[in-house]
Structure 1
Amino acid sequence: MATRFLSIPLLFGLSLPLTTWAQATSHAAARHVQQETGTLTGRIQLADEQAAESVSVLVKGTSLGTTTDAEGNFRLQAPAGWLTVAVTHVGYVTQLLTVQIKAGEAVTLPPLTLAKDQRQLSEVTVMGNRTINEKPVAAGKLPVRPLDLPQSIVTIDQRVLEQQQVLRVSDALANVSGVYVMGTTGGTQEELASRGFSMGSNNTFKNGVRYNNGALPEATALESFEVMKGSNAILYGNVAAGGIINLVTKKPRFQQGGQVGMRVGSYDFYKPFVDVYGAVNNSEHVAYRVNATYENARSFRQGVSSNRFYVNPSLLFKVGQKTDLLVEGDYLHDERTPDYGIGTINYRIVDVPRSRFLGPKWAYNNTDQTSLTTTLTHRLSDTWQVRLLGGYQGYDNDQRSTSRPIGVLENGDWSRSAQGSQTMQDYFLGELDVTGKFKTFFLGHAVLVGLDADKYNTTTPSYTAVAYDKINILDLDKYKQRADMPALSLASRNHTPIRRVGAYVQDLISVGEKVKVLAGVRYTYQETGTKSLAYKDYSITQSKRYDDAFSPRLGLVYQPIKTSSVFASYSNSFVLNTGIDRNGGALPPSTLNQFEVGVKNDLFNGALSANVTAYHIVNDGQAQTILQNSPSFNSDFPNAQELAGEVTSKGLEVDILSKPYQGWSLIGGYSYNHTSYTKSNIYEVGSLLRYNPNHTANLSLFYTLDHSILRGLQAGFTAYYVGERQAGRSTRQVGSNGQPINDTFKLIPLSSYTQFDASVGYAYQRLTLRLKLSNLLDKLSYNAHDDNSINPIAPRQLAATLTYQL
């Protein structure tokens, strides 16, 4: 009988027979260690239900020891025999355990809870895990503290995500200053922005691989939520200047554990979920983790519903003492009703019920998304490491609906058309990173050298819109709506392949203990092709363009004390332009220059982190149409553009985050942003860009009782403020002929609002129940895209989540 094995693709086609290979590796390594050692595993909890990260587990009388991870789990290889193990943590009573370790076997301790040391409580100010300034972020590629980097970085860990019952990525933004929702086009995705610039799919990552955020990412599988603000072009190429988001999913563990749970909420919301992990067949070399969830819900919008399934399996292979292979995959199937909001009349938001839906009953938006990431990490020494990453993502979206509400008459009448769209995309990535530390004379170096190559294959069939029916958005009973879904014919099929390759080097140079200099540069080369087939006459058009750019980065960090730093940096990024120049050639990329200064502080022995950042970003080569009265105008190419416009973004950000202290934890932030046209031949100089609030602020306060009969009771409060914004369409001062015009375009002002959420929870042994009341004051506001997708925010809603720890 033939031996069956699992084959996993690694870096575009290399296949590994993992089961056979892992067994051979496991047996070879085991022959050496099983004669003398065994494995001790367990999980530590703190009396106040806080995360027991960095708890020390030491074998007395030896130099052997380890610390717990973010969930309190530990794994320690120890000599066979009877051992005394000390479990210690600052502010808690040390516990001594006597255990017997047998050669080649694994011993798992029952869950252990550390009690507070009342004698030390008055002197202790720091309890919990590392601060946001101490914990390196995976998206940074270089394993150094954020305190040492000249850049604003915020990480929201799993404990906060669970406390706040984060359902969507936008929920987590209530913990990060200056990152906000700029639109929810069709209600099928969340368009995020930072510092005045959109954070689209090019700026969204999952485990370091670009992620198409055309579908709503699943939050239940997240281990942390990383935001690196500002320019990250040196690491990832042509990303927008505002920053990047990296979604870090939960990783495999060798300790057995997990949780099952159920979330229910308003409007028939149901979401069961499961998360299990452990060693494969008690192996010391292969671990697994599986997250899965199903979601079914209606909406406060009448006729709108959603249905989705998500699964996220992963495997970790300990190939040897210095080599790890992590294989992560996920699959999302998402079905929801496309919803373009309540409509506008002559650029005015319509006063209609918040629940009014203007689409047809048959409308649908279906998305299937699959990803696979393999990460091979080899430690050359204690200071040098090689990381090889391969990634694939498949994205398939199909939508049918009526058109966006454009051209609504003053009396509310609107003639709808039926339309369809489809996107099919395959994305591949290969990346090699080498990191290391060394010294030259009195200088210390932390170096990153890398190569990456990726490609997109995107196909977008388009359909011919057809007239459908007439409705009145003020009175839906005025006309009888059609109920049938019309057939749509293909109009064209567009194929857009993109090939990109980059090389980068970065060095964090330590000049003594107080001064650090970060210097680096990236070179990116990109090919973009287009091939369009028009079905009406079966004509084919093709084109190809070639772009390249250098992205330098330079920063200076001064640390007067070990827990504080002052920094300044310069970096640039680039964005591709799709137009043509005056001679009909490809328009070159636009380069954005960014300057950033800031202060980072870990105060009160690390109990509170407080960071302040100021920035100034200039796109002095924004693409704009060449007007007919311009000396650059060429009548042979009347739609040509030139890089003569300018957009400037400037602002200030404050981020505050505390460790848990005597049951209390705090997250706060404030941002000011001003993004405007500072040079334009069409728009008024000084006018603001759309969707960007001048001010945002956030505050989250949580308290956990760790004494009395109510021990385990939790209460939390979150406030999120979004300042005034504007949607609609920016008013043009002149037409394409260069003459003043009475423009029909108008901006739509969106008023500021503050949303309050309240939550309460209770944890008893393995059970935890959490209740959340969102939008406590039932505030009404909108997320908007142009003038044709004005989506009200959700009203007051109640959610309950019950989890059981396995």
Structure 2
Amino acid sequence: MNNSLNRIWKFIVSALFCTTAFTAYAQHGTITGAVNTIDSLPAAMVSIQLKEIKKATLSSNDGRFILKDIPQGHYTLIASYVGLQSQVKSVWVKAGELTGLQISFPENNAQLQEVVVSYGKGMNEKTIGAGKVAIKPMDLPQSFTVVGKDILERQQVLQLSDALQNVTGVYLMGTTGGYQEEIAGRGYAFGSNNTFKNGSRYNNGTMPEMSGVEKIEFLKGGNAILFGNVAAGGILNIVTKKPKFEQGGEISFRTGSYDLYKPSIDIYGAIDKQHIAAYRLNTTYQKSGSFRDDVNSERIYVNPSFLFNLNEKTSLLVEGDYLKDKRTADFGIGAIDYTITDVPRSRFLGVPWGFNSAEQKSLTATLTRELKKNWQVKGLVSYQAYNAELFGAARPTTIKPGGNWIRGLQKSKTSEEYLLAQVDLTGKFKTGKIGHTFLVGADADRYKTKANAYITNQYNANGRDEAISKLNIYDTINIYDKSTFGKRTDIPVLDIDRITTSPIQRFGVYIQDLVCLSDKFKLLAGIRYSYQSNRTATVDSIAKGSSGSIAAYTNDAFSPRVGLVYQPSKKLSFFTSYTNSFTVNTGRDIGGAALPPSIVDQVELGVKSDLINGLLSVNVTLYQIVNDNLAQTALTLADGSPNTDNTIRELAGEVTSKGVELDIATKPLYGFTFMAGYSFNDTKYTGGNGKNFTTGDRLRYNPAHTANASVFYAFPAKSALKNFDAGFSAYYVGDRLAGRNPSTTNPTYKLIALPDYTLYDLSVGYAGFQHFSVRFKLTNLLNKLSYNVHDDNSVNPIAPRQFAATVSYKF
């Protein structure tokens, strides 16, 4: 089987680049220009079309536009804006030359803003790239959300969790150690298998940088047919900013509470006069303190990308990514007997020298070849390297009732290499009167993970006592008395205990077809075959001078998908779908054996509607997800002692998640834009294993209710507040559970009830200066307090009220 996998791997890599043989240098012209109002202000979102070849684009916020790869000839250019009279110009395009145009609408800026409906796309008009094939939202029997650049900019999104406040049913379930945001949806965690960047899996062990992000796509529910081994709640795909052929860019500086400093640069443009190659470079540096005492962070990010138009039908996109992040390891304020401690929000219990350092590098190449009409082949190769080291105080799990805590140490080091190759062929065709939107593809990837474990009992405060020296003890503090902190400040040297190396290979082939049976009925059907080989893992026990292994094992499965869409009109769509998938469970059970995969069945039912001439979109989705045997971290070891190793897991039994999601969004109307959403989720053990997880118990970390609402308003040009805009948002997270599930095996365990909370944010912007703009933001206006908790140890308070300001210069 390994030889077969290697042959398949070589075939996919070869297929990815074979289309380059068809590339040839071809001279085409380029049209560029700007659209202004009669009072010389830029006109954004104007449609620019070439009548003869039906090529189109939209003007940007500064009124600029570009149409590239235009064959030599005479064309009719039409500039149109909903509600206004179109402007028509004749233009002659010469091969290898740049043709510039200036277009002016007879209306002034105030009149332009008084147009009721903007040209912007509504919620049900945005396609999602993570779907691998362009399917109109009304035709897709699945719920998804796209958080675009406009929202990211006006809300000054700093972390991925900030963007979640716009996504119904997707939420933050934990912030373990203060260095990672653990995201979940519909009751199930989005691990690294469910997190993608530009279509390639992305290790989410550290927080991704948002300054270079163009949009974030959330494809909810079952997605195994497209991505193989993914969890049931959905996937998220981070799309970075792409190269442009027009010259431009932005320089910005952000500052805020707790000594936040963040300069950023984004520049782009054509490399050559013929507009064959373009580039883009995003880079930022961030340094900040925290509302948590003695906690700070520093990161640097570089994101270069290049686009090559190899000929009129072939393009190559090369994207790089580098992130270096170092921050204080902060596992929160702890709990005493499953009750959150009553210490100030800012109280830091770790050692001041403790850290988590992560370095992430990736390189992705995407080759796209247009074939005959409506057919395209796209190949992708991606490489990623991830290295992380954690060293600091152990998690606060054994705090005594009076507040005394014997602090131990924890240290770990992980390195991961990941290589992916995939090829997709997409096309549209008809068989008689029946239309087809077709996708067939294959992907293969390889992981190699190396994890270092360290000896934590070799250097403690009572080393002269032989019995005590065998315990993991650094010092003793009282969490209620800061004078007991810092009596010991040295950084011990810990030796490596063992090194575990785990190689994994995966392969999948898939086929999918959206069949347009009629104008009202559409059928989406497909199937994927997935194969995963967990190769023999080696365990080198450095301390004992010996080595061992974890036996290899394989899993394979077919993942079907079927969905039906009924559209009584173009503005109303009913859908239902069924998906089946499997999740490969990593780690080992308490006996050291590999865990079998979990099988997941999911049913989704919903309606998508565009009302009031498309101004208002309202979507409702109902779902049920049944995981036949959910794997979770084992609470106890074989001898009954508590388990502290996250790689030792157990099958908890059947878990069922069911719920409803409501999404509401408007297009801009008289300067107003409104978004809102509500989700209800009920995730419970419906077939607990009878030992540590009981049937009927609620799954931890998941809120039953979440809700979000935001309104944005741009003041008209005739008002005294022209060039100002303002936004207000509210985000509600219902009560959740943490702690540990009590059971017959562990009756002393308890759950921790986490309080619900609502965050209110306010933003104001001004863009009245030429090229300059400034934005201000206040978060958590009412200074609400709640927590994100993992088990009963990483009890991390949410951030208090904070202020931020961003000054930008666009050119």
TM-score, length basis structure 2: 0.89
1:617 is aligned to 625
Q: 1:676, 1:687 within 8 Å by CA — same for their partners in 2?
A: yes
1:591 is aligned to 599
2:97 is aligned to 105
Structure 1 residue 645 displacement after superposition: 2.0
2:641 is aligned to none
Structure 1 residue 65 displacement after superposition: 4.9
- Is 1:607 the counterpart of 2:651? The answer is no
Alignment partners' CA distance in 1, 2:341 and 2:633: 33
2:320 is aligned to 329
- Equivalent residue letter for 2:521: V
Q: 2:16, 2:423 within 8 Å by CA — same for their partners in 1?
A: no
- Equivalent residue letter for 1:592: V
Instruction: Render the CA deviation track for 1:354-398: whole Å, top value 9, x for unaligned.
Output: 111111111111111001110001011221110100001110111
Structure 1 residue 434 displacement after superposition: 0.5
More displaced 10-residue stretch of structure 1: 258-267 or 125-134: 125-134
- Equivalent residue letter for 1:720: Y
Specify whether residues 520 and 84 from structure 1 end up closer, same or farther in structure 2 by C-alpha distance, changes over 3 A only: closer
Alignment partners' CA distance in 1, 2:792 and 2:633: 22
Structure 1 residue 188 displacement after superposition: 0.2
Structure 1 residue 608 displacement after superposition: 2.0
Alignment partners' CA distance in 2, 1:582 and 1:695: 35
- Is 1:489 the counterpart of 2:489? The answer is no
1:792 is aligned to 797
More displaced 10-residue stretch of structure 1: 432-441 or 190-199: 432-441
Alignment partners' CA distance in 1, 2:374 and 2:274: 28
1:88 is aligned to 80
2:470 is aligned to none
Instruction: Render the CA deviation track for 1:183-214: whole Å, top value 9, x for unaligned.
Output: 00000010000000000111000000000011
Specify whether residues 106 and 441 from structure 1 end up closer, same or farther in structure 2 by C-alpha distance, changes over 3 A only: same
After TM superposition, list the pairs within 5 Å mapping 1:53-452 onto structure 2: 53=45, 55-58=47-50, 65-68=55-58, 73-76=65-68, 85-92=77-84, 94-95=86-87, 104-109=96-101, 115=107, 125-452=116-443
Q: 2:509, 2:530 within 8 Å by CA — same for their partners in 1?
A: yes
- Equivalent residue letter for 1:752: D
Unpaired stretches in structure 2, ≥5 consecutive residues: 1-9, 458-472, 636-646
SS at match of 1:787: coil
2:729 is aligned to 718
Corresponding residue pairs, total: 768
Percent of aligned pairs sharing the same letter: 50
Specify whether residues 301 and 43 from structure 1 end up closer, same or farther in structure 2 by C-alpha distance, changes over 3 A only: farther
Alignment partners' CA distance in 2, 1:773 and 1:579: 43
- Equivalent residue letter for 1:188: Y
Structure 1 residue 131 displacement after superposition: 2.2
- Is 1:456 the counterpart of 2:447? The answer is yes
Instruction: Render the CA deviation track for 1:479-537: whole Å, top value 9, x for unaligned.
Output: 65311101111010000111000010111111111100111111110011321111232
Structure 1 residue 606 displacement after superposition: 2.1
Alignment partners' CA distance in 1, 2:809 and 2:588: 59
Structure 1 residue 271 displacement after superposition: 0.5
Structure 1 residue 541 displacement after superposition: 1.9
Structure 1 residue 165 displacement after superposition: 0.5
Q: 1:730, 1:747 within 8 Å by CA — same for their partners in 2?
A: yes
Structure 1 residue 656 displacement after superposition: 1.5
Aligned counterpart in structure 2 of residue 686 of structure 1, from 677, 691, 696: 696
After TM superposition, list the pairs within 5 Å mapping 1:700-779 onto structure 2: 700-708=710-718, 709-732=720-743, 734-735=744-745, 743-764=747-768, 765-779=770-784
Specify whether residues 794 and 117 from structure 1 end up closer, same or farther in structure 2 by C-alpha distance, changes over 3 A only: closer
- Equivalent residue letter for 2:797: P
- Equivalent residue letter for 2:810: Q
More displaced 10-residue stretch of structure 1: 165-174 or 599-608: 599-608
Alignment partners' CA distance in 1, 2:648 and 2:456: 28
2:670 is aligned to 662
1:3 is aligned to none
Structure 1 residue 619 displacement after superposition: 1.3
2:547 is aligned to 540
Q: 1:672, 1:696 within 8 Å by CA — same for their partners in 2?
A: yes
Specify whether residues 107 and 451 from structure 1 end up closer, same or farther in structure 2 by C-alpha distance, changes over 3 A only: same
Instruction: Render the CA deviation track for 1:676-726: whole Å, top value 9, x for unaligned.
Output: 011111223211010000000000100001322432210000100000001
More displaced 10-residue stretch of structure 1: 104-113 or 522-531: 104-113
Structure 1 residue 90 displacement after superposition: 0.8
Alignment partners' CA distance in 2, 1:426 and 1:626: 27
1:634 is aligned to none
Q: 1:434, 1:450 within 8 Å by CA — same for their partners in 2?
A: yes
Structure 1 residue 413 displacement after superposition: 0.4
Instruction: Render the CA deviation track for 1:586-633: whole Å, top value 9, x for unaligned.
Output: 443110100000001122222222111000111123459999xxxxxx
Instruction: Render the CA deviation track for 1:294-344: whole Å, top value 9, x for unaligned.
Output: 101011111011111101110011011111111011100111111000111
Unpaired stretches in structure 1, ≥5 consecutive residues: 1-8, 628-638, 736-740
Alignment partners' CA distance in 2, 1:127 and 1:173: 25
Specify whether residues 179 and 80 from structure 1 end up closer, same or farther in structure 2 by C-alpha distance, changes over 3 A only: closer
Specify whether residues 615 and 408 from structure 1 end up closer, same or farther in structure 2 by C-alpha distance, changes over 3 A only: same
Specify whether residues 121 and 458 from structure 1 end up closer, same or farther in structure 2 by C-alpha distance, changes over 3 A only: closer
Q: 1:532, 1:541 within 8 Å by CA — same for their partners in 2?
A: yes
Q: 2:426, 2:438 within 8 Å by CA — same for their partners in 1?
A: yes
Alignment partners' CA distance in 2, 1:151 and 1:48: 44
Alignment partners' CA distance in 1, 2:30 and 2:660: 50
Structure 1 residue 76 displacement after superposition: 4.7
Alignment partners' CA distance in 1, 2:406 and 2:671: 58
More displaced 10-residue stretch of structure 1: 73-82 or 401-410: 73-82
Q: 1:465, 1:488 within 8 Å by CA — same for their partners in 2?
A: yes
Q: 2:110, 2:716 within 8 Å by CA — same for their partners in 1?
A: no
Specify whether residues 79 and 640 from structure 1 end up closer, same or farther in structure 2 by C-alpha distance, changes over 3 A only: closer
- Equivalent residue letter for 2:525: A
Q: 2:81, 2:119 within 8 Å by CA — same for their partners in 1?
A: no
- Equivalent residue letter for 1:716: G
SS at match of 2:491: coil
SS at match of 1:218: coil
Q: 1:184, 1:791 within 8 Å by CA — same for their partners in 2?
A: yes
Alignment partners' CA distance in 2, 1:114 and 1:465: 75
Q: 1:620, 1:644 within 8 Å by CA — same for their partners in 2?
A: no
Q: 2:48, 2:77 within 8 Å by CA — same for their partners in 1?
A: no
SS at match of 2:125: coil
- Equivalent residue letter for 2:347: R
- Equivalent residue letter for 2:474: Y
Specify whether residues 118 and 730 from structure 1 end up closer, same or farther in structure 2 by C-alpha distance, changes over 3 A only: same
2:476 is aligned to 470
Q: 2:69, 2:312 within 8 Å by CA — same for their partners in 1?
A: no
SS at match of 1:697: strand
More displaced 10-residue stretch of structure 1: 617-626 or 606-615: 617-626
Alignment partners' CA distance in 1, 2:433 and 2:67: 38
Specify whether residues 158 and 239 from structure 1 end up closer, same or farther in structure 2 by C-alpha distance, changes over 3 A only: same
- Equivalent residue letter for 1:691: Y
1:505 is aligned to 511
SS at match of 1:133: helix
Alignment partners' CA distance in 2, 1:378 and 1:289: 22
Structure 1 residue 110 displacement after superposition: 6.4
Alignment partners' CA distance in 2, 1:480 and 1:622: 42
1:4 is aligned to none
Alignment partners' CA distance in 1, 2:799 and 2:264: 23
- Equivalent residue letter for 2:65: N
